[in-house]
Structure 1
C-alpha cells in the first residue's frame, strides 16, 4: 500500500484526493493547507483523514510516507520538500499528478469495463437458467426480452418471430411498451427496408439516435416515442428466426463491449426458441387434426377460453368465423370419401395460407372449420370471411369441374349481450349465424345479431 500525503488542498488537491480514495492501494496519511475552508480539507474531514492547518514540513521528516503531492504551486515549498525528501519519500508535483490521473483514469476505465462485462456475464447466466426452466412459449419469449433489457439497461423491448413462408414478423412479446404498439401483431418484411437489413445481418445493430437515422421510418415506433434502439437478429443454421429489440425513449450511447454480450444473448435466444419449437411440434401431435394438420376442437376450446378472458379484460375485439362446406355429403356419396378427404385438405391449406399468422384455424368437426381472430372487429371478420368464401369457390377440386362452396357464420364478442360468455355460448352464436347463411341459400356470409 502506498502512503500518500497531499500538500495543498485547493481544487487540484481535491481532485487528486477524490481519485485516490477510490483505490484501496493508497493510504492517505494527511492533507495540509493553511486555509481551513480549502475544498480538499472538507473532503478529508468527511473521509475521517488527518488534516493539518499549519506548515507540515517539519512533520514530514518524522512521518512514514512514500509519496508527497505538492499541489501548492509554490517554488519555495517545492525546494524545501526536495531537500528533506532524500531517502524519505518521493515528491510529485501537479505535472506528475496529471500523469498519474491519466494512469488512474485508464485503470478506472479498465475496472469499469471488467465490472460491466462481469455484470453482463452474470445476467447471461441468469437468463440461461430462466430460459431452461421456462415451460411455455410466453415464458420463453418474455424471458428473452427481459434479458435483453437487463443487459442493455433499456426500459423497453420486444421480440418478433419470423415467418419465412409469407415474409412477415409476428410480435410475440413486449415489455415497457403501450398496448397500441402491439395492436398490429404482424408486419411484412419489405424488400430493401430496415427490417430486411437487420435479418440479413449477423451482428446487432445499435442506433443511438433515431432522428439521425433517416432510413428508419417505422411510424409505430416513432409514435411510441422510441428514440434509440438495439436490433438483435436471431439467426439459426437454416436462416433468420426473428428479431429481438431493446428500446429507450431518449438517445443513448452504447459501449462497444456490449456487442459481444448481445451476440451471446442472441445465441441463447435462438437455442431457446428452437427448443420451444421442437417441443411444440411434439405437442402438436395431441392438438392437431391428423387429416388436415389443423388444430383440433379440444385445443380450440382451450385457447378460446383464455382469449375471451383477455378480450374482456383489455376491452379488445375478438371474432369467430364458423364455416361449413356446402353439400359435403353429396361429394362423399358421389365421388367417395377419398375425394372428400382431398377436399377437406385442400380447403384447409387454402384457408391457412390466407389467414394471419396469429389467427387460429381449427377443424371443428366433420366438414366444419372454425377460425378464432383476436384484435378483429366485425367489419374485418366479415371481410376475411368473404375472401375465404371467394377463394374456396375458385378452387378446382371436383372431377366434373363443379364448385365447392362454403357458408360462413361470423360472430364478434361485442355483439353478444351478455357480460360473461363461455366458449360454448360464443360458438353457439357463430353457429346461429352459419345456420342463417345455410337457410339463405348457402355460399354466403352471415353475422350474428343482424
Structure 2
C-alpha cells in the first residue's frame, strides 16, 4: 500500500465514522453511507439492503444509480444472500459467468456484496455494482469492507434509537388505550371506543374486535380504519381453515401475509394481518384482528406491545361481560325467566324515545291470567308457579327477537313490540291468547285463559303513562267483557277512546 493509499484509507474511515455516527436517524445514516460510496469509490450504483428477521429476507432500503429502489432477496439467494449466509464479502468479477447473480441492472458486470455486521450479527448488506468487468481490486474491496464496519455501527445505533423512540410512543399509546378500556362497562360502547383508540394510537390501517359465542364462533362486533373487513358487523367469521381458529386455540398471536399465505382472514387488500387472541383467566373471549397495507406491518419487535394491548382489552371486555351478567340478573324475573318490571320501565322509555325520533311505531300488550287466584286456591301455589312459568315460556317462544316479554307483577305480563302498529299488535295478542287457551297445563283439569289489552304509539298517546294507561284500560274492558279476549282501539267501535 502506498502512502497516498494509506492516507486515502484513513480519510475514508474518518469521514465514514463522522458521517454515520453524527445522526441517529436511520434514513440519514443510509444516505451518508451511499454518499461516501458514490463520492469516494465512483460507483455507477450501490444499495443498502437490511435484514428482515420476520420474513428472513433482505430488503432494499436505499439505493442510487440504476439500482432498484425496492427489492427482496431471500437468504442464500444471489450474491447478497450468500454474503449474509457466509458472513463475509462475496465478489463476482464477471456476473455474466456467475450463476449466483440475480440480474437487477442489465449493464452490471461486476458486483461486490459486503455483509453489514455488529458483534457477529448481520444487520444488512452493502451491495456495490459496476458496469466494468473486475472493477473491484483487492485494495478497493478492503477499503469498502472496513467502511462497512463503520456503517454497520451507524445502522445499529440508528435502529436502537428508532426502537427506543418507538417504545416510548408505544408506552404512551398503551396508556391512552388503557384509559379508554376503563371508560365504559357497556360492551358495544366499549368495543367501539377500544377500536378507535387502538387505530388512532397505533396508526393501524384496520382494527377489528370479534367476540366468542358459546359454540366458539367468532362474531365481528366493532371495526375501525381504512381497511374494511370482508364481513359486516354482527356477522360470523367463517371457521373453515381460518388461521384465526389456530390463534384462538393456541392462545398465541399469529401473523399472516395474505399475498403469501393464501386468502386473508378479515381484510381484502391487506399486506399483513395480525390475530391477537383475547384471553382472560385462561378462557378465550374473542380476537383482535389488525390489518396493515404493508407486508411488514407487524414486526417481531412490536409483538410484546401488541400483546399488552390485547391483554388490556381482554380485561376490559371481561369486566363488561361481568357487568352484562349482573345487569341481566337485575332485569330478569327469578320465577319465570322473562324480564321483570324494572326492565319494562327502562325499555318502554327507550323504545318510545326511538319511535318518536324516527317517526316509528310501538305497541304494548298488557296481559292478565284469568282467575289466577282460583288456580292457586284450588291447585296450590306450586302448580300456580308452574302456570306462570309456562305462560311466560309460551309468550317468549311466540314473539320476535326484538320484542320484550316482561312479568309486570303477580299474574300480569307486559309485552313491548317495537316497530309494530296497533292492528299488528292486536293480531299478536290474539295469537298469544289462542296459544294459552289451547294449551293443556299438567295437573290442572280445566282451561287456563288470558285477557289482554293493546295500545300503540302514537295513536293512544306519546308518553309512557299514555300508552300503558291505554293498554290497562283495554285490559280492564277485556275482563269486563267476559275474559279470554283481547281489546284494543282497533277492535272496538270507539278507536279514539284512549287518545
Question: Under a length normalisation based on structure 2, what TM-score does the superposition of the two structures give?
Answer: 0.52
Contact (CA 8 Å) 1:230, 1:247: kept in 2 or not?
A: yes
Contact (CA 8 Å) 1:410, 1:434: kept in 2 or not?
A: yes
The answer to whether the aligner puts 1:302 opposite 2:346 as a matched pair is yes
Distance in 2 separating the partners of 1:95 and 1:119? 36
Distance in 2 separating the partners of 1:427 and 1:133? 35
Distance in 2 separating the partners of 1:244 and 1:231? 6
* 1:7 CA displacement: 11
> Which residue matches 1:265?
309
Secondary structure at the residue paired with 2:284? strand
> Which residue matches 1:200?
249
Distance in 2 separating the partners of 1:392 and 1:136? 37
> Which residue matches 1:57?
none
* 1:18 CA displacement: 8.1
* 1:399 CA displacement: 1.8
Pairwise mapping of residues 96-111 of structure 1 onto structure 2 (< 5 A)?
96-111=146-161
Unaligned runs of 5+ in 2: 1-9, 40-129, 131-138
Secondary structure at the residue paired with 2:298? coil
The answer to whether the aligner puts 1:22 opposite 2:72 as a matched pair is no
CA gap 1:279/1:391 in 2 versus in 1, 3 angstroms: same
* 1:228 CA displacement: 6.6
Contact (CA 8 Å) 2:272, 2:298: kept in 1 or not?
A: no
Distance in 1 separating the partners of 2:436 and 2:144? 86
CA gap 1:279/1:226 in 2 versus in 1, 3 angstroms: same
Contact (CA 8 Å) 2:217, 2:239: kept in 1 or not?
A: no
The answer to whether the aligner puts 1:256 opposite 2:262 as a matched pair is no
Distance in 1 separating the partners of 2:259 and 2:400? 30
Distance in 1 separating the partners of 2:426 and 2:309? 43
Pairwise mapping of residues 342-421 of structure 1 onto structure 2 (< 5 A)?
342-348=386-392, 361-370=405-414, 397-400=441-444, 416=458, 421=462
Deviations 1:395-418 (A, max 9, x none): 7642258776778888887xx479
> Which residue matches 1:324?
367
* 1:386 CA displacement: 10
Pairwise mapping of residues 38-437 of structure 1 onto structure 2 (< 5 A)?
93-132=143-182, 134=184, 136-137=186-187, 140-150=190-200, 152-154=202-204, 157-164=207-214, 173-175=222-224, 185=234, 187=235, 192=240, 194=242, 199-209=248-258, 213-214=262-263, 216=265, 230-237=274-281, 239-246=283-290, 250=293, 253-257=296-300, 258-283=302-327, 286-309=330-353, 315=358, 322=365, 324=367, 327=370, 329=372, 331-332=375-376, 334-348=378-392, 361-370=405-414, 397-400=441-444, 416=458, 421-425=462-466
CA gap 1:444/1:429 in 2 versus in 1, 3 angstroms: closer
* 1:319 CA displacement: 5.6
Deviations 1:100-124 (A, max 9, x none): 3344333333433343334333322
Contact (CA 8 Å) 2:471, 2:488: kept in 1 or not?
A: no
Contact (CA 8 Å) 2:365, 2:454: kept in 1 or not?
A: yes
Distance in 1 separating the partners of 2:361 and 2:213? 23
> Which residue matches 1:56?
none
Aligned residues: 381
Secondary structure at the residue paired with 2:198? helix
Secondary structure at the residue paired with 1:104? helix
Deviations 1:115-164 (A, max 9, x none): 33343333223333443454554554344333432464225544444342
Distance in 1 separating the partners of 2:158 and 2:354? 50
CA gap 1:117/1:281 in 2 versus in 1, 3 angstroms: same
Unaligned runs of 5+ in 1: 34-72, 74-81, 83-91
- Superposed CA RMSD in Å reads 6.2
**Does 1 or 2 have the higher relative contact order (CA < 8 Å, sep 6+)?**
1
Distance in 2 separating the partners of 1:349 and 1:435? 24
Distance in 1 separating the partners of 2:176 and 2:340? 37
Secondary structure at the residue paired with 1:200? helix
Of stretches 332-341 and 281-290 in structure 1, the one that deviates more from structure 2 is 281-290
Contact (CA 8 Å) 1:233, 1:266: kept in 2 or not?
A: yes
CA gap 1:208/1:357 in 2 versus in 1, 3 angstroms: farther
